[in-house]
Amino acid sequence: MKTLTGKTALVTGASRGIGRAIARRLAQEGALTAVHYGTNEQAAHHTLELISQEGGQAFAVRAELGVPGDIETLYTQLEDQLARHHKGPEIDILVNNAAISGSARIHDITPELFDHLFAVNTKTPLFLLQRALKNLPDGGRIINISSAATRIAYPESIIYSMTKGALNTLTLALAKELGPRNITVNAITPGYIETDMNKHKRNTPQAANELAAHSTFNRTGQPTDIADIVTFLASDASRWITGQTLDASGGTHL
């Protein structure tokens, strides 16, 4: 039996990687899923094709995030598409997944890098949430994709880690605010997951083995490892969990 039949979901950054896997799983469970993407139209359409082959329903919305007007650009298309599918304006499940990484140690960081990473990874999720709450029904679900870099020190990615730390704090505060409406707000912190974001770190078999060894399971995570957790958090089965930052790093640095 499908757990999300009749629900609507928005997954940011669903053209590739973890976001694509999340969109596929939510659609498999019956949610009409908005596949957001930034620039990679071909990849976004491939996500839609996969969902369609799996019997799910989805549509694409394009918006560059972290720039002025980004939320309205996204929402204009989202509401239009929901109406075409005889749905909306409610979004039952919002997954803040889109983000960028950016390696820089303390001596190399710049105000420009700080502003850019915070704009995409923190400011946009916050204001997307603010916009989504206008139409998020009681019992809705908010899931923020954070990073294990908030628990494990990665001085080579100091700003990236800070952007995700802020997301965890946002998760906690908002969970209290929205609890009376039975809206749950949770964050997930993946460790290394095999996506484009870190493929440069897996460019030799030795490097790939070293990354895998971070996990107590001695393998790198797959996007589906995260998508299954998101699907649980999106479902009614997770109704008693809120305000949590769930470690999903395959037991990295236990």
Q: Is 213 in the site for ligand NAP (CB under 6 A)?
A: no
Q: Which of 10, 193, 229, 233 binds ligand NAP (CB under 6 A)?
A: 193
Extract the tokens encoding 53.
């082959």
Region from 50-58, 63-71, 87-95, 237-245 binding ligand NAP, contact rule CB under 6 A:
63-71
Q: Which of 31, 58, 82, 98 binds ligand NAP (CB under 6 A)?
A: 98
Which residues lie closer than 8 Å to 45 by C-beta, 6 or more apart?
A: 60
Confirm whether 160 is a catalytic residue.
yes
Q: Which of 126, 197, 208, 241 binds ligand NAP (CB under 6 A)?
A: 197
Q: Is 65 in the site for ligand NAP (CB under 6 A)?
A: yes
Residue 93 has φ and ψ, to the nearest 5°, of -130, 120
Q: For the chain, percent helix, then strand, then coil, each to nearest 5? A: 45, 15, 40
Q: Is 23 in the site for ligand NAP (CB under 6 A)?
A: no
Q: Is 43 in the site for ligand NAP (CB under 6 A)?
A: yes
Side by side, which strands form the sheet with 32-37?
Answer: 58-62, 32-37, 8-11, 93-96, 141-145, 184-190, 245-248
- d(Cα 103, Cα 105) in Å, to the nearest integer? 7
Residues that bind ligand NAP (CB under 6 A): 13-19, 37-40, 43, 64-66, 97-100, 120, 145, 147, 190, 192-193, 195-198
The catalytic residue positions are 160
